[in-house]
Amino acid sequence: MANPIIPDKSVVTTCAYCGVGCGFKAETHQGRLVRMTPWKEGKANHGHSCIKGRFAFDYYISDDRVTTPLIRASIDDPWTLVSWEKAIQHAASELRRVQAKYGTKSVGAISSSRCTNEEIFLVQKFARAVLGNNNIDNCARICHSPTQFGLSATVGWGAASQHFDSILQADVIMIVGANPTEGHPVFGSLMKRRVRQGAKLIVIDPRRTETVESAHIKADVHLSLRPGTNVAVLDSIAHVIVREKLYNEAFVRARCEWDEFERWTEFVSSDRYAPEVIGPTAGLDPELIRKAARLYASGPNSAIYYGLGVTEHSQGSTGVMCLGNLSLACGMLGREGVGVNPLRGQGNVQGGSCLGSWPHVFSGYRFVTDDEVRGSFEKDWGVTLDAEPGLRLPNMFDAALAGNFRGMFIMGEDPVQSDPNQNHIIEAMRQMECVVIQDLFLNETSKYAHVFLPGSSSLEKDGTFTSAERRVNRVRKVVEPLAGYQDWEIVVMLMNAMGYLATYDHAGQILDEIARLSPAYKGISFELLERIGSAQWPCDEAAPEGTEVLHREKFPRANGRGTFMLTEYVPTAERTNDTFPLLLTTGRILTQYNVGTQTRRTQNNRWHSEDVLEISAHDAHIRGIRDGERVKVSSRFGCTELKAKFSERVGSGIVYTTFHHAETRINVVTSDLSDWATNCPEYKVTAVEVVKVASEQTAKRAAKKKREHVVTA
């Protein structure tokens, strides 16, 4: 029979993939998920979807899903299947043993942007109230920590100033270091709609992405800059705006710190930021920089959307500040159609950021060193909390190698695969005496773990996600947890086993605690979300149903004014030379998601079964590499092998790959440099050399040919 199954139940929930936060109706038949259809009332997607959210959900019933807790004495032993009770007791006693032996601060916790707000909040509570230290970090460290830092410094809050729909009122759209049609497809479609209606498009990206040119879309200006020169180019754009007096003086006088503005104009108008100077540095035609500057300043509504191409640099925070500066100077904040908006990679990076999963701040970015703030948490939680900021994720690994960090609780993260300089991390992980992992699958990191607690997918639990537009969306349980417990319940069990009494009847009570202790979430509750669907923070008495556009009247800074940061361009220490003449930059593709934990377990693999190295035909030719051949990519840090693919998307001198497959091990190659302010790794710039794998002989011939080519060129 060709008649399709009629779903018998439909639950409205939120997509677990990227930061767009699409609403979906999860339809089940006899308790089994049979399809996901986009929810027309989803505020971010309005009934639209992408391949990941709509179709790639089978990972949750993948054969290799772990559904029984596992323990082992050493990482060289095989895993033993145990009961939940035994696993929790073992994890608890081992973490306490490590603390007794090496000190309270010898353990820490990592949460993930894959988890719900409630789980993220609970894990940081676990670190602070149960482990008794502030060693808590999350994966936003390696993607959007510079957003938090850079935007806070200029406009006051490290979050998107707009809602996604705001783009429908933009006249000029500037996309910096982002590729929305691949990374944030539903937003990408919205952006393309607006461009087809006539909005102008500026794209700043080393690659000629689909955002630059696709059906009925062509960027008015594409600045295909050399990786690592963001700050120089953005300063040069500012230079043109200031020199040509294209800034919005009335806005700056009314809303910003004028003295700081004057200091900034003096700084950027320096000749060293003239397009004629920066152009050659960045590999750009100076006129294009001028054109971009004039277009952005002319508006009337210009909106900036940016991604990891801005943040994952040694000057990531500076790059974000540049964007804050530009939008303030041109008065592109505080209304619909304008703004500065980070496009966040994971479903809940914004939640991970704002709910205190950081070693130095509680939820709402309030410092652990602040006695009053800490006091309010101590009162609510009934324990004394540590006033000293804890270790950041990379510092935890460093401390492990230094000998004073020996235990970790990792929820929904795979740092061994996703973090930079893999060999260093593996060495650090080997030093640990107790690593507790809570995840759906065994992964690269669990190779170094002692306890594995089988977690629940977002289809199996209740909670909320906060999307990239600050929207708190409800996650609803669609099917029963395969391993028996929702993730937050597992953390509660662990807290209780370690002697801290935590009692929650349902996830909504954790959200109530978040609301009680976090000003921006004050008005948010399951009841509110049930009633109005979703709400963007800040949500409080003044905005009982949330806030779509930030900064309408003032900026959330002490004096209510926006300010300007001096953003000196400092070239990254990672540079090309004769040995490593190419720049490797990394990114993502539509059909795969992040390190691929979910999508690689679905049919999405049919589209992208392996990561390939995009290389220009020119660079390939002088190395004797043919399209589709396996090549070795090596950097100062390590090497890996993958298949070369000729591409017109990258210019000469640049190679590009994705990081979706563990086998690629591309993070063995990426550098250990990181953002000066936040330690966000510099994934986007690594000097490499690419040689054909075939034979050393061939490689030598190719090198000779290259030398000859350089001589004659």
Residues that bind other proteins (CB under 8 A): 1-6, 25, 34-35, 37-41, 43, 46-51, 54-55, 165, 168-169, 185, 188-189, 192-194, 196-197, 214-217, 590-591, 603, 606-607
CB nearer to other proteins: give 181 or 327: 181
* Cα–Cα distance for residue pair 494/501, rounded to 1 Å: 10
| H-helix or E-strand spanning residue 563 | none
Q: How many other β-carbons are positioned within 10 Å of the β-carbon of residue 402?
A: 11
DSSP states of 29-94: ETTEEEEEEE-TT-TTTTT---HHHHH--GGGG-TT---S-EE-SSTTSPPEE--HHHHHHHHHHH
* C-beta of 534 vs 567, nearer to other proteins: 534
| CB 122 to other proteins: min, Å | 31
Using an 8 Å Cβ cutoff, are 205 and 179 in contact? yes
Parallel, antiparallel, or unpaired: how do β-strands 23-29 and 221-223 relate? unpaired
Nearer to other proteins, 48 or 692 (CB): 48
| Cα 271 from Cα 8, distance rounded (Å) | 68
What residues does 471 pair with on adjacent strands? 536
**660/692 with CB nearer other proteins:** 660
Half-sphere exposure of 281 (CA within 13 A, CB side): 21
- Closest distance of CB 36 from other proteins, Å: 9
- The closest of 136, 83, 76, 82 to 105, measured between CA atoms, is 136
Amino acid at 22: C
Instruction: Say if residues 10 and 456 touch (Cβ distance below 8 Å).
Output: no
Closer to other proteins by CB, 554 or 607: give it.
607
Contact 44, 471 (CB under 8 A): yes
Which amino acid is residue 671, in one-letter code? Answer: S
User: Looking at beta carbons only, is 285 or 545 nearer to other proteins?
Assistant: 545
Distance CA 618, CA 180 (A): 28
Shortest distance, position 104 Cβ to other proteins, whole Å: 50
Q: For other proteins, which is the closer residue by CB, 56 or 411?
A: 56
Of 50 and 343, nearer to other proteins (C-beta) is 50
- Residue 489 has a CB neighbour count (10 Å cut-off) of 18
* φ, ψ at 524 (rounded to 5°): -90, 135
Q: What number of other Cβ atoms are within 10 A of residue 31's Cβ? A: 10
- Separation of alpha carbons 239 and 270, rounded Å: 7
Instruction: Give 48 or 200: the residue with its C-beta nearer to other proteins.
Output: 48
**Residue 196 beta carbon to other proteins: minimum distance, rounded to whole angstroms:** 7
The residue written with tokens 């709609």 in the block is 193
* Angstrom distance (rounded) from CA 511 to CA 200: 41
**Cα–Cα dist 203/222, whole Å:** 5
Of 6 and 501, which CB lies nearer to other proteins in the complex structure? 6
State the amino acid at position 7 in one-letter form: P
CB of 168 to other proteins, least distance (A): 5
Q: Which is nearer to other proteins, 147 or 457 (CB)?
A: 457
Least Cβ distance, residue 327 to other proteins (angstroms): 22
Smaller CB separation from other proteins, 47 or 375:
47
Q: Which of 384, 347, 383, 377 is nearest to 362 (CA)?
A: 377
CB of 52 to other proteins, least distance (A): 9
Q: Give min distance, CB of 5 to other proteins, in A.
A: 5
CB-nearer residue toward other proteins: 47 or 403: 47
| Other residues' Cβ atoms within 10 Å of the Cβ of residue 244 | 12
Q: How far is the CB of 670 from other proteins (least distance, A)?
A: 28
**Least distance (Å) from other proteins to the CB of residue 140?**
27
Whole-angstrom distance, CA of residue 396 vs CA of residue 131: 15
Minimum distance from residue 406 beta carbon to other proteins (Å): 45
- Residue 47 Cβ, how far from other proteins at the closest point, in Å? 5
Write down the least CB distance from residue 530 to other proteins, Å. Answer: 15
Report the sign of the C-alpha dihedral through residues 113, 115, 116, 120, in that order. Answer: negative
- Exposure string for 530-552, b = 16+ CB within 10 A, e = fewer: eeebbbbbbbbeebeebbbbbbe
